[in-house]
Chains A and B, each alone.
Chain A
């Protein structure tokens, strides 16, 4: 057996006045998968970052196989065979996957002969059950591919303890199964111990042996997964019994006027090849249209085009007016969105939370008077939004990058949904959200719809789509290949179209 047993004892970590970890202890048994559950901002990422030496705990010990270790930097963790896939990617965007693998090795090579190095890397990665291209720049990979590249990197480095911080939030269920199934098989074989952070109970149930629940920085429940019911876990997470019946507002039939109309829109991807091909669609007032599809089939480009971030050919109109995504059009026509990777695509990470919350309306009264900003009103608005959407943050002036992953998402949601929304474009809006926040997001999207907004919802989660939308379009290879109303939808048929098969 080579899989280590790792024990964290009485870990405490403060960020200023904010107690992120409060005396947390955790035992990762050799050859097991230990799951960490907890609401957004509970301290899961902070705990594991202490375990890899990225953060230094204010208090606490780390023992590996009974021996005490001080981890001053990720290099120390690396030497112990401890590695982590971070929640926010830590691959170097301008380098290829192969270069990323080489630079992460324990010893930096003096001279690299790429020909033999590539051959060796291909050799090593061939044994893994999933593949990423080695000679492509990371910046050109889709989110799912980046995640797989991160995991390939850790496995390539021969980890003994592998930490996965929400690895599946950008993977399709099939990919998640591939990745976690492989990790699972390695732990079973006694080659690896693992920590899995996830918001998905079914994943925890399926792939983890033990589970620990964190709430507000404290460990509130721990035990074998088999001995704990979903309800017990959920209750431990939020600290009160969960109300079972989630009340979605009743759906009303959509109105007849068309809000979004796209006609024969074609868009090129970053590589210059067409990513969206001749796509036409319409979304009506009071309707949620879902776009299903495996990531990398043009959804990202479609969303970026709608948000005015990409050149295109073809016509896009909102409420009958041609739309090119200028700031004035966005405000006048009420086009708002929840993009993927919100910290990168919808926020300015070095600006404060309050400023980020004002990005949509800082140039309008009451936030600005003439040419002067009114910081009082800006703070007031931020305080209101933070309260209303329960964004947990160290403070309104904290930089956006200090927020936990899920809370970045909530902040963006708060900013976008409190505008006068006529058209909402949501791309995987619940990636990385805990189940309470998920429900909340669903509720708010349905509310926006019932308020008369047209909603275009792009998601890789078929269950999420089927639960929310009125109509589903399936996107494959840049085209809409199938359309069905939500009532008559058959998951198997949709799945086949998603996989690119013509006839069902």
Chain B
């Protein structure tokens, strides 16, 4: 009897061996060391616009070198020596957030970003971490330097406190978690790291995209004939070998200048950093919400309703007549991280999309105005939060600032009351049918 079992167990013994081999096979995808990735999506965008490809030795490599010299590596961050930067970034905090995670010899946490954020926001802060593709909305790409939920005027940077609030409270209804279980100084460190990645990303984009930096260097003189675009071919063919040599020297000299402290501090950093330094000055002064009795509140809501459907505020054009978020009519409605110029996608030229996706861009997704009948606010649900949203707009997501359409603060409070209190909740048991997007345009 035992013998029989043995015979059959031979098969059973073989199975584990097979499984073992299979696990080794699955593991074969080896892990790369942590490195910043160049913003190739931005590079390709410029290449398409200029009809000329970037040359690696004279454009891509110098850009990467500059970035590393200024900002260090993911394991050892650095702050470029620029006046005023110490008000924005704190190197000790960055050390705490950077690097592989664990604890230092004093038991202090380290590598917080890689412990808590990197799988969504990515090692370079590009919002394209491993989990990004399965999330909706996508995690924030910090490199654009735009943030949605903040107390500052439209187009300005968030304050330190705004970012801290976002990280502590998370964003309801999105994958962005609340980190309120972390120590306060750990959150501080993460705020600094987010700003650092953001500034680094903006500098990178500036170096790649700005006409006075690397974008328009005439590197055709260094390129292999096969790399040249038709225009470049023509130009190069007309040049003599000496002229080409001369031109090469000019480009080399330009690169030396572009790499110089003078350029980096006075042009690049000045452009990027000043907005971060000014952020605190751009917080809008707001008189506190007036106290109201019931009757006044009703009046305020009624006024808010009028404004909501009015031509000026035009909230309903996006959020819909029912406020279900189904009113926007544009066929191409994408956020600034997706659509050019901030993003990469040009709805008028969708053929180039696969090239960007191959470079790691995330599939474009249509931007949806919020369904205001669920009482869900990503940027916080206090009246003041909603006041900021309406008054300042939501950067990067096309929701305009009420200031631009000349609403007074009082009218904004009316809208806040209307949005918060006058809209019926979407009944979950019998939800209203959303209008199909773009019905207005199709009809």
A, B: real partners: no
Residues of B within 8 A of A (CB): none
Residues of A within 8 A of B (CB): none
